[in-house]
Structure 1
């Protein structure tokens, strides 16, 4: 993210325990502590970074992107546009949020 120049970042995830560890002020001593420390180490590279829990059923777009991304052998970034399947999910969510379903 820092390579792309983002300064204000919101990280959403459906793993509540992980989100809580990233928000916590005390040092993490769990089996994923090295990942938590790595993420927290990068916090000062951004103007702001917020960690939010999003239930799995409200995070279909992220799952769709992850499924699409697993098909590639290298890293992929979708910046200007997303795969069509993800755009369809986003549009469905937009209609639900606006009460048009």
Structure 2
């Protein structure tokens, strides 16, 4: 994990739109970091398919998808990968922590300690 970022938004219509904004934020972070290869992972198959497509999108998130498609040229390689929600623990924990703390944060080379603790608490301790 190269970097972690949590950005809070207000007035987002639904979770689907929030996932699209998260994907766009990941791409913008990659541009700011100056990377030439990026993998955008998400737990919405519909969103991932729309990002992979080069067709003009006509859904409610068309403006976000258009921005993502415009920014694709900023990278030598960009990949959109579906990851099941159950395996997307870091992203959901980061989002919950940002909402709970009501703050945005950014950390290079890993996840914040608070997120590592929260994820660590999700799994039971090994027996003695």
TM-score over 0.5 for the alignment? yes
Conserved? CA contact 2:97–2:115, under 8 Å:
no
Superposed structure 1 runs of 4+ greater than 3 Å apart: none
Does 1:24 find its partner at 2:53?
yes
Cα root mean square deviation, aligned: 2.2
Aligned to 1:44: 73
Q: TM-score, structure 1 length as denominator?
A: 0.77
Across the two proteins, how many residue pairs are aligned to each other?
92
Q: Distance in 1 between matches of 2:38 and 2:77?
A: 6
Q: Distance in 1 between matches of 2:57 and 2:51?
A: 9
Between 1 and 2, higher relative CO (CA 8 Å, sep ≥ 6) is seen in 2
Conserved? CA contact 2:39–2:80, under 8 Å:
yes
Does 1:76 find its partner at 2:108?
no
Conserved? CA contact 1:64–1:85, under 8 Å:
no
1:32-89: per-residue Cα shift (whole Å, max 9, x none)? 100000011101011111000101001001111111223344x421213422243253
